[in-house]
Structure formats: structure tokens, C-alpha cells
Structure 1
Amino acid sequence: MVAVFNKELLSWYLITLKLKETLESGIPSSPNSGNRSTEFPQKEQQQEDKFQQEPTESLQVVISEDGEKSREEPNSPGSEWVVIIKEKLEQAGQDDVASSWSKLSIYKIPHYLRDSTGDDKAFAPQIVSIGPYHHGKKRLRPMDRHKWRSLNHVLKRTNHDIRIYLNSMKEIEERARSCYEGVISLSSSEFVEMLVLDGCFVLELFRGATEGFKQLGYSRNDPVFAMRGSMHSIQRDMIMLENQLPLFVLDRLLGIQLGNPDMKGLVTALALRFFDPLMPTDEPMTESDRNKLELSLGSAITFDPLSDQEGLHCLEVFRRSLLRAGPQPVPRIWIKRRSNAQRVADKRRQQLIHCVTELKEAGIKFKKRKTDRFWDIKFKDGILRIPRLLIHDGTKSLFLNLIAFEQCHLDCSNDITSYIIFMDNLINSPEDVGYLHYRGIIEHWLGSDAEVADLFNRLCQEVVFDINNSYLSPLSEDVNRYYNHRWNTWCASLRHNYFSNPWAIISLVAAVVLLLLTLAQTYYSIYGYYRPPR
């Protein structure tokens, strides 16, 4: 049976059959009927012959696997759909071969993290764009004028030709592209121009924070290259995950400026100096470190406080500086083998510890630990020692971008995420924040304790991690074991109810003395009754 897919020919064929039936049934017999009967069959035969000839030209015979024949139009929607799917599969195969996932280090923020916070400003730059993700956005274009000014200062100060920088970036273009997620729409010339322009701008800021912008040739009232109020907003933009340049690009550009293209490590130290005000502690960089930096810039000697491993970008360097001499970063594997079973991170098992109010009722004390490593928490003999944490208006964006990097980059630990979830468990209310502030553990510049509590409660809403991979898991188990011991709860209740202030202590002592006197009187009364004096 022939399947006809040409609707127009099929319609004409049906009309012809209907016309034939109408003529045969509706025309009465007459003397001239013989002539009519001979005219119409001839026309009808011509139309049928035409129909039989035309479809054969526009239809194609397709033989299926089981040997049956069918006819299909060459340009039918079904055949086009299959061709499109095949093209997509070929493109996917090319992407899979061409992509090097191991080189990826600068990620786009996952939608579940961006949507959970409800604050796009924490992830998207507001003043300056660095890298391709936010390149050319309308609200960030005013800063491009100052980028070109910085590049002009570099060329005049070094007496270099711009082609030196362009050719150097052209050599590492493909390596730089592989650090970014997805396809970068910029052409080769646009991408190389962006690397030179943004890279020199970043280095001018780094060097100005260490050497002084005046030494680099900028005026003291420069709108950007001066240590004034806008610098904090620029620092906050430049620490974001989506706003990064690969560290080897900055190393190459600074090496060209200082006459040593293969120099490494100095950019790391400059970045730490520049981002030092964003540290969540109140311990600034030491004077000796600053002197070493200035000496390194003057003599082109490499000074790298994190020289044990090569950095990826400024955010990753900043993260490693926070965890320096702390938990060793090991590659994280989402699925681990335990007892011949497979486990994955479970959102229901992220409760590390009880809140401050509940721990206090169980007799656990809180004390400030004197160290600049804010994550280094200790617990011993019912005392939880927590280092001081400084919270300012840039802390939320900093923590969110650090969490996003740990969630995306599997070759790093989840130590920052573990710390933030631990603090989120501790803080359930403004009263918890107030008590930690009273103990000197939390210092904040926000409006109220309620804002601090809301900040921690929102940071990890959609973050999933395995508590068994947390460096704080052993400490949390010790705290929970102490919390679940009833004797500790009873002792804490006794201290809270009867030893909370001097008047309560005096009342308790008086009550005990009165009780003892009453018992003594009762004893002697009974003793005198059974053994009266003789």
C-alpha cells in the first residue's frame, strides 16, 4: 500500500472522486447524455493519469529493514529532525574531545547557588569586569577608560611596544581559554586584547597597593588608582569567582614588565597584599612581609609565601592563604566506598552541632582562641575555643564565592564550607550572635545581631556536602558526646539556677544551713523520745 504524504495532491484526488460521484448520480438521462457521458470520462481519465504521474515525481520509495516498502518525502519534518539530532551528537563528540576538564578552574556560578541567595550582587561585579564572563556589559563599561589609562602608564613606564604583550598573550591564548567554562564568544583578537587590558589593570592595582600609586606615576587625586573609598568595592569585585584571570597570565605580564618573562610567584604575594583588607580576621599583613614584597619588586626576586603549589587564580590563592598551615587540601571524591557500599552527600545529614543556646544549657563554655586562623576551633574539657571572626559588608560575597569554588572545583577540600556550616549550626538566633559577641568570638560591622544570624543562615541553604569529609567532624562528635551526657546537663542546670549570682549563692547556703538545723532538731527530738534522760 502506498502512503501519500503530499496533502495537496491527495486533496485534488479526493475532489476528483467526489466530482465523479456527483456527476454519475445527479445528471438525468437525455438525448445528449451520451455525448456528456463520453466527455466527462475522458476528462476524468486525464486527471487520474495526471495524478498517477505527479506523485511519482515528488515521492520517494523507502525500503525498511523488514523488507516493506514505504514512500516518504525527502524534505519531510521527520527526516530533518533526524539530521539535526545527528549534527548535535557530532558537535557533542567534538566538544568532548576538544575540552580538557582538568584545566578548568574559573567557573560560572551554579544556578542553584545564585538563586538560593537571592542576591546577584554577591556573584556579579558592580564596578569592574575581569575576564570574559562579564566583558562588555553596559554597566561596567565606564571602567574600560581607566583600564586603557593603566595600560598606557605601563607602556610609558617600561618603554615597551604593545606588540610585545599582544604576541605573548597570543602564545598562551588556548591555554587561557581552557580555564573558562563553556564556549567563549570573543574572537581571537578580542580575547587577546582582553587578557592584556585586564591583566595590566589588575597588576597596576596590585603594585599600587604595595609600592604606592604615586610611585607608579598616578596623581594623588586619581579617581581609581588611589587608596580611597572605591578601592574596597573594586577589591570585592576582583575576588569573585566569575571575575578572574588565570594566574599564569598575570605572571607572564608582570614578568615582561620586570624583564623576566618566566618569573613566577611574585603575583601571588602582590595579590595577598592587595586583598588583605578582605580577610575575615583583624590581623593585617606583617611589616616584614611588606618589606619583602617591596624588595622583590625592586630587584625582581621571587617572593611567594605559597610556593608549595602553583596557584590557579586570585580567589584560589586567597583561599589557600586562609587555610595556610591548616587542613591539608586533598582531592574530594563525591562517591566513596565504605563497607562495600556507596554513599553520597546527604542534605539531611548536615547538622554538625547544636546551637549556642542549647550547648550553654548542657554546660559547654565558649572562649575566644588567640590565633589568626579563624577556622582553627578546639574543644577540650567542656570548653569550645573559637578564634575571632570579623564580619563586614564584604564578608557575605567573599564566603559565597569561596563556597561556590569549593562546590565546583573537585581538586580542593571543602574546609571553608565546613567552617561556615559549623557556624551556621551554632547560630540560630540573634541571641546566639549576641552571646558570641559578648565572648569576643564574633565582631561585626553590620546593623544588628539579627543581620549576622540571617547571613549565616542563608549562606549554605542549597549547599550539600558530606559531614564525614569535614575536618570539624571529630570535634563535633566530641561536643555532641559531651552534650548528650545527662550529668553535664544537671550540673549546668544547678550552676545556672543556684550559682548564677552572689544572692542566689547566699540563698542556697542559707537554705542548706536551715535544712541541716532542722534535721538536727528532728534527730534530737526523736532520740530524746526513745531514750529519755535518767
Structure 2
Amino acid sequence: MVAVFNKEVLSWYLITLKLRETVGAGVEKSAGSTPSPSGDLQLETPQQQLPQSEQHHRGPPQHQPSLSDWHSKTINGGGKNVVEEEEEEEEEGNPLESEWVISIREKLEQAGQEHDAASWAKLCIYKVPKSLQEGDDSHKAFVPQIVSLGPYHHDREHLREMERHKWRSFQRILERTRQEVKLYLDSIGELEEKARACYEGPITFSSYKFVEMMVLDGCFMLELFRGAAEGFKHLGYSRNDPVFAMRGVMHSIQCDMIMLENQIPLFVLDRLLGLQIDAPDQRGLVTKLALRFFDPLMPTDEPLQKSKRNKLESSLVDQETSTTITPFDPFTDQMGLHCLDIFRRSLLRRGPRPEPPPNSRNWIKWISNRGRVADKRRQQLIHSVTELQEAGVEFKKRKTDRFWDIKFENGVLWIPRLLIHDGTKSLFRNLIAFEQCHMNCGNDITSYVIFMDNLINSPADVAYLHYCDIIEHWLGSDTEVANLFNRLCQEVVFDFNESELSKMSEQVNRYYNQRWNVWKANLKHNYFSNPWASISVIAAVFLLFLTSVQTFYGVYAYYWPNN
């Protein structure tokens, strides 16, 4: 028996015995239980085995790590690491912060999936940027009013009326060709992934819904194209048909179908037309039909026959390289993206000039040369019509169907005739939006519109161009035409150096800055503007000459009277 001489030593001895018994009991209990994932036994802490009175005396229970916890932290492969356990403790302590971290991880994961699935090279049908939609009339310029094509405006309430006419056109095609609907669905289903890549942003439609929309909208467009070329009566439609007839509503449909957000990929239309005529691999026929359908929207009334067109295009020469340019032929070209693209390229009479994507070595140089965001102060290409008149510049109409082909020779600015109607604003705004969004696209239409915006600052400028037979408009007044050009490019920027009109504008500005041209113009304007003014000037000069002679002889006789 142990003799005890100190009460404190005895107390510590009893506590030690109690702890040994508690640890032993915990080991025996854990031996019969399921082991932890790390292979260690979960041992209870001594505090858990103390009596309730003693626990109450020591305060509320605190978190005490078990032996297996320490074992898993020190041995590799033994459960979670310290960082994961600390994160779990933090998430349990702050549930709001935990939800916030989880939401950020989900967004990052979604962004990574979208980035991996994106195919930027195939993107060609864009949503118009918000900066270009500012204005009171932007809704009519970019949002279809009668018919929707593609996913951007599908199932809008004010466009649902045209859906039943789409089904009528598809049913008419199936009856006329005696084909099954499954043929069209399966064929376009093969192009679904490629067609989805043409649109900006994720398309939430299911596979069945998307393919159905492509087939229905594409067949509707083809019926309109073929009806305008062959005649709707030939296709089996009544001449009183509310849609498939050359009526007043057709102009509004044409304006809707030329909008950037209302496009169907051209390869989808090629496939659908190929199924109808039993030539699945045909190319180019849709382009020809589309250009004929959109011909009333052309901003020029100078039709160019094919023979003249070939003669004109063969004479196109690059001034820098002195080589003949291979022009764009809209009837045989097979690189079109959609109807707006082929319409634009037919206006310019040449194909696009794709730029190779930059690599890691020259991307800085590429961006600096590209200049997609330019200084707005450098977009003043040329002075207004009134100012150029004061400098002696004359304006004459140039007979060509290429409305953008402007020349300056010997003080004369030759400008092709431009037709302006109620659909011209929407046409130009969508062409500009496409040039602003599509990387492999020039800025020819944008530079032309900005050039005309610089020329036209007031209704007087419009009136003079109308007097010169350069502008023909069907709007209410010259003020509306001036406002049209002044508002088209309010939020548009482009590189001044890339504009084909920049060199010609520099020539005009040099002519304007020569004082002799200004003096000559003032003399002509003030004294030779009409025959009577010219006669008065000649008479005044003649009288001045006689007065000078009389003065000379009077002075001569005074100083030399003998002579």
C-alpha cells in the first residue's frame, strides 16, 4: 500500500488513474466500432467522460481535436488536410460567406464552359450593341416589326401573327415537292451545331425547337425569294394572299429581313433550297434570289447591266500595287454569311478581305494598325457643302450604280446619285452595326455615311445636293434628310486611315485651304453669278480703263505740253 504524505500529490495521483481508465475504456469501445477513413480509431476526449457536475463546473464544452484528427494532419493520405478543415470550419461559422463563395465558383465554372464551347471564328449574326441603339427611333431600326427570323426575336408578342403564315409556306412546300417533313428536320439537324455557332451568346432553345425554327424560318424566306423571282401564282398562292403577293406589306417584310438581328445562316438556306430542287450541294442560287428580292432597297437608281458591270469591274486597279482587283460577283460567290452580308457586298461590288488572326508575336502591332476604336475628333473628313462652295468646289452627279464611288478632279466633286426612302435609315444603321461588330469586315459603308454626314450640316446643304441631282429623297422635307445623316453615326467610331475616302478628302481639304481658290470663288459668286452681273462688271472694268487712259493723257499733257 502506498503511503501518502501530501494531499496535492494524492489528488494528482487519483486524476492520473482516472485518466488511464478512461483512455483504456475508449480504446476498447473503438475497437468494436467502424474505423475512420484514415484507418485510425476515433477516441473520446477525457472531458466527455467526466461527470456532468464536473463538466458544468468547467463551463461549456469546447472543441477538442481527437487523436485521429491529429493523425490525419500529420500523415499523408489520412483524410482531409488542414486547409480543407479550416475552410469547412469557416463555412460552418458563416453560412452567408459560404453561399457567396459557392456562387462565385459556379459562375467561374460556367464561364469556363462557355469559353471552351465558344467558336468565335463562326460568329456572324450579332446582337446590336447598346451604344448603337441609343435614340428615339432605334426600336424601329433594329427590331423587326412584322416577322422574326432566328432566335433573337422569336416568339415576341407583336410578331406571332406571322407564325401561321410560316406554317402555311412550309406546308405548301411539302405539297409541291411531295416530300416528308422528317427529311428537312434530319437534314437541318446535321447543321445544328454549326448554325448555333453563328449566333452571339448562348441559345437556350432545345435541339428540337432550334431545328424547327431554322426549318420554318428558312422555308418562309425561300418562298418569298422564289415568289419575287418566279411569281407567287406559279408557286400556288392566290393573288389575294395577305403575305405571299406583291403588296404594300412586302416592303415592310423586306426591311425586317435585312436587319442584323433577324438573319438565318446562308448555308441553312442553301441546304433547304437544295432539298426542294433535289440538289443538296448547290451553292449560289440563294444569293441570286436574295439580291433580286432586296433590289427595291438599293440606294441607287442607276441599274448596271451585266455587260457593263463586267467592263467596269475589269477596270478596277489597286493604286498601291497596280494590280487588277478580283471583284465580288454576288451571283457566283460562295462565301456569303447571311442576307445582310451578301447585300452589303453586292453594294460594294467586291468580296471581303479577311485578315489573318494575330499570333502572340505581332498582336500588339496588329491592334495598333487595326484601330477599331478611333478618336472621334478625326472623323471630320471634309467640310460641308456650303463651306466647299465658298472655296470654289463644284458638285456634279456621277453616273454609276456604285453610290460610294466618289471622285475629286480639278475642283469638281463627283458624287453618284443617292435615293433616300423610309427604309434607308434602317438599312444604313444595320449595315453600320454589322461593320462595327464583324472583325473580318471593312468600314466602307461607315466611311461613306460619315462622309455624307460631314457634307450635310443643314437643310441648305441637302437642297443644293438635290439641285445638283445628287440626292433624291421621298421624305417630308430636307430637314429630315439632314437629321437622318447627322444621327446615323453618333456613337460610331472607325479608323480614319482605313477609310478609302480619306485620300480623296485630303485632296479636297488641300484645295479648300488655298486662298486663291477662295478669292476666285468669291469673285465668281459675287460678280459672275448671272449674266446681268457679268455685264455690269465688264462695263465697270471698261469705264475704269477709259478713266485711267484719260488720267494718263491729262498728266502727260501737263508735264510735257510741247509734245
Q: Settle same-fold status: TM greater than 0.5.
A: yes
**Match status 1:310 vs 2:319:** no
Q: Identify if the C-alpha distance between structure 1 residues 247 and 221 changes in structure 2 by more than 3 Å, giving closer, same or farther.
A: same
Instruction: Please give the alpha-carbon distance, in whole angstroms, between the structure 1 residues aligned to 2:232 and 2:177.
Output: 16
- What whole-Å deviation, never above 9, does each CA across 1:390-437 have from its counterpart, x for those lacking one? 000000000000000000001011100010000000000000000000
Contact 2:408 2:414 in 1 (8 A): yes
Q: Secondary structure at the match of 2:413?
A: strand
Instruction: Please give the alpha-carbon distance, in whole angstroms, between the structure 2 residues aligned to 1:109 and 1:341.
Output: 25
Instruction: Please give the alpha-carbon distance, in whole angstroms, between the structure 1 residues aligned to 2:523 and 2:357.
Output: 47
> Which protein is bigger by CA-based radius of gyration?
2
Aligned 1:377-388 pairs, distance under 5 A: 377-388=406-417
1:77 deviation in Å? 2.2
1:64 deviation in Å? 8.2
Instruction: Please give the alpha-carbon distance, in whole angstroms, between the structure 2 residues aligned to 1:241 and 1:417.
Output: 15
Aligned 1:32-71 pairs, distance under 5 A: 51-53=60-62
Among 513, 520, 542, the residue aligned to 1:513: 542
Contact 1:106 1:244 in 2 (8 A): yes
**Match status 1:190 vs 2:202:** no
**Match status 1:495 vs 2:524:** yes
1:318 deviation in Å? 0.3
Q: Secondary structure at the match of 2:344?
A: helix
**Match status 1:478 vs 2:507:** yes
1:79 deviation in Å? 2.8
Task: Select between 304-313 and 104-113 the one with higher mean Cα deviation.
Answer: 304-313
Give the TM-score, by structure 1 length: 0.83
Q: Quick one: which amino acid aligns to residue 60 of structure 2?
A: F
Aligned 1:149-164 pairs, distance under 5 A: 149-164=168-183
Q: Identify if the C-alpha distance between structure 1 residues 366 and 55 changes in structure 2 by more than 3 Å, giving closer, same or farther.
A: farther
Q: Identify if the C-alpha distance between structure 1 residues 189 and 73 changes in structure 2 by more than 3 Å, giving closer, same or farther.
A: closer
Task: Select between 344-353 and 112-121 the one with higher mean Cα deviation.
Answer: 112-121
What stretches of structure 2 of length at least 5 have no aligned partner?
Answer: 1-50, 71-79, 309-328
Give the number of the structure with larger relative contact order, counting CA–CA contacts within 8 Å between residues 6 or more apart.
Answer: 1
Aligned 1:434-453 pairs, distance under 5 A: 434-453=463-482
The equivalent residue for 1:29 is: none
1:525 deviation in Å? 1.4
Among 420, 425, 431, the residue aligned to 2:454: 425
Task: Select between 67-76 and 109-118 the one with higher mean Cα deviation.
Answer: 67-76
- What whole-Å deviation, never above 9, does each CA across 1:315-371 have from its counterpart, x for those lacking one? 00100100004x864549998849x99965211110110000000000000000000
Instruction: Please give the alpha-carbon distance, in whole angstroms, between the structure 1 residues aligned to 2:505 and 2:57.
Output: 88
What stretches of structure 1 of length at least 5 have no aligned partner?
Answer: 1-41, 290-303
- What whole-Å deviation, never above 9, does each CA across 1:89-142 have from its counterpart, x for those lacking one? 222121111110000000000000011464211000000000111111111001
Q: Secondary structure at the match of 2:376?
A: coil
Aligned 1:126-525 pairs, distance under 5 A: 126-283=145-302, 305-325=330-350, 329-331=353-355, 337=365, 345-525=374-554
Q: Quick one: which amino acid aligns to residue 502 of structure 2?
A: S
Q: Identify if the C-alpha distance between structure 1 residues 64 and 228 changes in structure 2 by more than 3 Å, giving closer, same or farther.
A: same
Among 144, 151, 165, the residue aligned to 1:125: 144
Q: Quick one: which amino acid aligns to residue 316 of structure 1?
A: D
Q: Quick one: which amino acid aligns to residue 320 of structure 1?
A: R
Instruction: Please give the alpha-carbon distance, in whole angstroms, between the structure 1 residues aligned to 2:304 and 2:293.
Output: 10
Contact 1:332 1:412 in 2 (8 A): no
Instruction: Please give the alpha-carbon distance, in whole angstroms, between the structure 2 residues aligned to 1:275 and 1:113.
Output: 24
Instruction: Please give the alpha-carbon distance, in whole angstroms, between the structure 2 residues aligned to 1:260 and 1:241.
Output: 29
Contact 1:336 1:342 in 2 (8 A): no
Q: Identify if the C-alpha distance between structure 1 residues 514 and 313 changes in structure 2 by more than 3 Å, giving closer, same or farther.
A: same
Q: Secondary structure at the match of 1:367?
A: strand
Instruction: Please give the alpha-carbon distance, in whole angstroms, between the structure 2 residues aligned to 1:182 and 1:314.
Output: 20
Contact 1:117 1:459 in 2 (8 A): no
Contact 1:63 1:70 in 2 (8 A): no
Q: Quick one: which amino acid aligns to residue 125 of structure 2?
A: I
Residue identity over aligned pairs, in percent, reads: 66
Instruction: Please give the alpha-carbon distance, in whole angstroms, between the structure 2 residues aligned to 1:529 and 1:287.
Output: 80
Q: Identify if the C-alpha distance between structure 1 residues 219 and 288 changes in structure 2 by more than 3 Å, giving closer, same or farther.
A: farther
Q: Secondary structure at the match of 1:245?
A: coil
Contact 1:390 1:443 in 2 (8 A): yes
| Count of residue pairs the alignment pairs up | 474
Instruction: Please give the alpha-carbon distance, in whole angstroms, between the structure 2 residues aligned to 1:503 and 1:203.
Output: 63
1:286 deviation in Å? 5.6
Q: Identify if the C-alpha distance between structure 1 residues 77 and 436 changes in structure 2 by more than 3 Å, giving closer, same or farther.
A: same
The equivalent residue for 2:41 is: none
1:506 deviation in Å? 1.6
1:508 deviation in Å? 1.0
Q: Secondary structure at the match of 2:415?
A: strand
Task: Select between 120-129 and 109-118 the one with higher mean Cα deviation.
Answer: 109-118
Instruction: Please give the alpha-carbon distance, in whole angstroms, between the structure 2 residues aligned to 1:466 and 1:140.
Output: 38
* Cα RMSD after superposing both structures: 3.0
Q: Quick one: which amino acid aligns to residue 158 of structure 1?
A: T
- What whole-Å deviation, never above 9, does each CA across 1:134-162 have from its counterpart, x for those lacking one? 11111100100100000010000000000
Contact 1:131 1:243 in 2 (8 A): yes
Instruction: Please give the alpha-carbon distance, in whole angstroms, between the structure 1 residues aligned to 2:97 and 2:289.
Output: 60
Among 84, 90, 115, the residue aligned to 1:72: 90
Contact 2:91 2:97 in 1 (8 A): no
Q: Secondary structure at the match of 1:390?
A: strand
Q: Identify if the C-alpha distance between structure 1 residues 352 and 276 changes in structure 2 by more than 3 Å, giving closer, same or farther.
A: same
**Match status 1:84 vs 2:93:** no
Instruction: Please give the alpha-carbon distance, in whole angstroms, between the structure 2 residues aligned to 1:263 and 1:525.
Output: 95
Q: Secondary structure at the match of 1:51?
A: coil
Contact 2:392 2:521 in 1 (8 A): yes
Instruction: Please give the alpha-carbon distance, in whole angstroms, between the structure 1 residues aligned to 2:430 and 2:204.
Output: 24
Q: Identify if the C-alpha distance between structure 1 residues 328 and 475 changes in structure 2 by more than 3 Å, giving closer, same or farther.
A: farther
1:76 deviation in Å? 2.4
Q: Secondary structure at the match of 2:461?
A: helix
Instruction: Please give the alpha-carbon distance, in whole angstroms, between the structure 1 residues aligned to 2:145 and 2:202.
Output: 23
Q: Quick one: which amino acid aligns to residue 161 of structure 1?
A: E
Contact 1:130 1:244 in 2 (8 A): yes
Instruction: Please give the alpha-carbon distance, in whole angstroms, between the structure 1 residues aligned to 2:86 and 2:398.
Output: 83
Contact 2:465 2:471 in 1 (8 A): yes
Contact 1:64 1:70 in 2 (8 A): no
Q: Identify if the C-alpha distance between structure 1 residues 333 and 282 changes in structure 2 by more than 3 Å, giving closer, same or farther.
A: farther
Instruction: Please give the alpha-carbon distance, in whole angstroms, between the structure 1 residues aligned to 2:356 and 2:391.
Output: 35
Q: Quick one: which amino acid aligns to residue 495 of structure 1?
A: K
Q: Quick one: which amino acid aligns to residue 234 of structure 2?
A: Q
